A and B are shown apart, each in its own frame.
Chain A
Amino acid sequence: MTRFILQRLLLTLPALFGLLVLTFIMLRVLPNDPSAALAGENATPAQIASVRKAYGFDEPLWKQFVIYVEQVGRGDLGNSIISNRPVVSDIAGRLPATIELTFVSLLFAAGVGVPLGTMAAVWYNSVFDHTMRVVTVAGLAIASFWFAIILQMIFSMELDWLPLRGRFPVGLPPPLHITGLYLIDSLLTLRFDLFGQAFSHILMPAFTLSLGGLASIARFTRAGVLETLQKEFVHYAEAAGYTRRRIIWVYVLRNSVVGATTQIGLLFGGLISSAVAVESIFDWPGVGSYAVNAILTSDYKAILAVTLVVGLIYSIVNILVDVMHAWLDPRVAETL
């Protein structure tokens, strides 16, 4: 198992190094003057000159790349032209909000998607199954940013049931910082009132984000359960007199979700992408809304840093998913 994890890590390194090369090329090829682009729209010639010197844009290309790799290696991705703070600490400060949001969405997507998919497979070709098929395909076709706005319009503006935006009421001090995740911190400090506040704020953004994942999880679970139901051990269990409920929800499901776990990596990519627009609509103080602000203000350092950090996190998630897959199904580790 250790060998598998190490191998998996080694396979990821070239891709991450490639990402460094790609961002390096992007920054030097795409804008007319990379120094001016990095310094920001309102930079003085002196500021542009200092950026040119810091990044070595007047040096030969290979030296520029060495400088760039050194900077990234030190965790120095420059200062944001807006906040004037290092972009790395900006992103680190916003990471917990995004982690909390994506995690709750994923939990909701799996918690609802797996039972729905299983029921669709059990009652295969029934009205329920056909309805589920339409709903899941529609769930993947709905634009999350549009859905977010519609939810806001109905539940905040018209009905006034849920807060319109933000992660926490303005003026209320957030729970004691332990993990940075408000839901967990408020529970750990036994502040159930704060938990309620955090929960009502996360409800709409998390539901919006979970939609696509929910649909794909339901579909994969359905396919997996249908396939497992054909297996001989199911007939054996039936013959042995186990209840149908136990066979399906314990034995069949355990054998069906293994394949579906590999999809979590893909789902996560979709979640991060949707989070960009959804976070900015709900004013969720995460990495996604940071990226949107960076785009609106042409803050190139912040944009490049977000690309690198998201690439790193995405790779880590994919490694974790593979490791989990290998742990659930040891045959996977042997094929690598």
Chain B
Amino acid sequence: MLILKKFLRDIPAVLGLLIILTVCLIAIFSRLIVADLDTVYDGDLISRLKPPSAEFWFGTDSLGRDVFARLIMGTRGALGVALTVVSLAIAIGVPAGLYAGYTNGWGSEIVMRATDVFLAVPQLILALAIAQLMGRGLESAMTALALTYWPFFCRTVYGEVRRLRGALFIEAQQGLGASTPRILFVHMLPNVASSVIVRATIGMGFTIMTTAVLGFLGIGATPPNPDWGLAIAEGREYLPQSWWVVTFPGLGILITVLGFNLFGDGLRDLLDPRLRRSR
């Protein structure tokens, strides 16, 4: 309860959590908010590029689709993609980091040198190349992002495990004859969980951003997907008259990423005393 009290005092972090919860609720109930899917995918050419009004809160785009409805449906896509990418990256990076951190042999060397290679190129550049080679589309963009994001988890876990390896409770387990997988997953994993959770929270925001960039560049989501990045790219041609088509999806990205960053910062302060932001 003490930890909850401490968290509630951190106003920006609470704000972040509220944003995340709101965005998640919007994503879950998007089909209830947007009653008519035609306004998302088909639209009505007669009412194209209409400014915000009582009927269309955020206006309509070049195909007469409701920008508000597309923003709501886009939430679902953005969160879904980010969740998939981050989960895949965790599924690869955490076991790899546990193994490499705990053992000493050539296997550990190979894993860490591989992360060096992936970290030797900015993530987006590598993801662009991989996604392009796999053929355009949301699936290859997601695979590319996961394949380039796991090293960040691997590094984090590796560092933590190296630090814990000599701890008395681990030596005790070794002395009792516990198997390596048992030590790694039953005793190490709970101890590295907090750094992984912090990384994953910030990673969610980061991935939403990168996915939007890929969508904007035309290698992520394909039309008529209500992807935020794609919507900004599509709306660019109709500036400055139809400012609403570009402005609202960008605000969607900003608010969602802001929520994850604020919450991630707060979590880090709470869970990871060594990385505590000085205040």
Contacts and interface: CB of A to CB of B under 8 A. Distances in A.
Contacts of B216: 145, 277
Given A137-B265, A277-B216, A146 B253 contact: yes
Interface in B43-65: none
A303 B247 contact: no
Given A142-B254, A272-B125, A15 B243 contact: no
A158 B113 contact: no
Contacts of A12: 120
Interface string B185-227: 0000000000000000000010001001100111100000000
Interface stretch (B25-33, B98-106, B129-137, B171-179): B129-137
B120 to A, nearest CB: 4
Contacts of B135: 31
Interface in A15-63: 15-16, 18-19, 21-23, 26-27, 30-31, 37
Interface string B237-260: 001100100110110011001100
A311 B279 CA distance: 36
Interface string B97-119: 00000000000000001101111
Nearest to B135: A31
A280 B233 CA distance: 12
Given A153-B239, A303-B128, A26 B133 contact: yes
A295 B219 contact: yes
Contacts, number: 148
Interface residues of A, number: 57
Interface string A137-166: 110111101110110110001100000000
B279 to A, nearest CB: 8
Contacts of A140: 257, 261
**Secondary structure class of chain A's binding surface, majority of residues:** helix
Nearest to A277: B213
A223 interface: yes
Contacts of B114: 18
Interface residues of B, number: 49
Contacts of B279: 124-125, 226
A276 B120 contact: no
A40 to B, nearest CB: 13
A270 B217 contact: no
A126 interface: no
A12 B119 CA distance: 11
A14 interface: yes
Contact of A300 (B12, B133, B229): B133
Nearest to A287: B125
Contact of B120 (A16, A153, A270): A16
A22 B117 CA distance: 8
B253 A157 contact: no
B232 A295 contact: no
Interface in A181-207: none
Contacts of A227: 278
Contacts of B218: 295-296
Contacts of B132: 295, 298, 300, 303
Given A15-B113, A141-B254, 14 more contacts: A16-B120, A19-B117, A23-B129, A30-B130, A30-B134, A137-B262, A143-B229, A145-B229, A146-B254, A152-B239, A272-B125, A277-B213, A307-B129, A310-B121
24 contacts: A14-B113, A18-B116, A26-B130, A134-B12, A138-B254, A140-B257, A141-B209, A143-B212, A143-B229, A143-B257, A145-B232, A146-B232, A146-B250, A149-B232, A153-B239, A153-B240, A157-B239, A158-B240, A223-B278, A269-B122, A295-B132, A306-B129, A311-B121, A314-B120
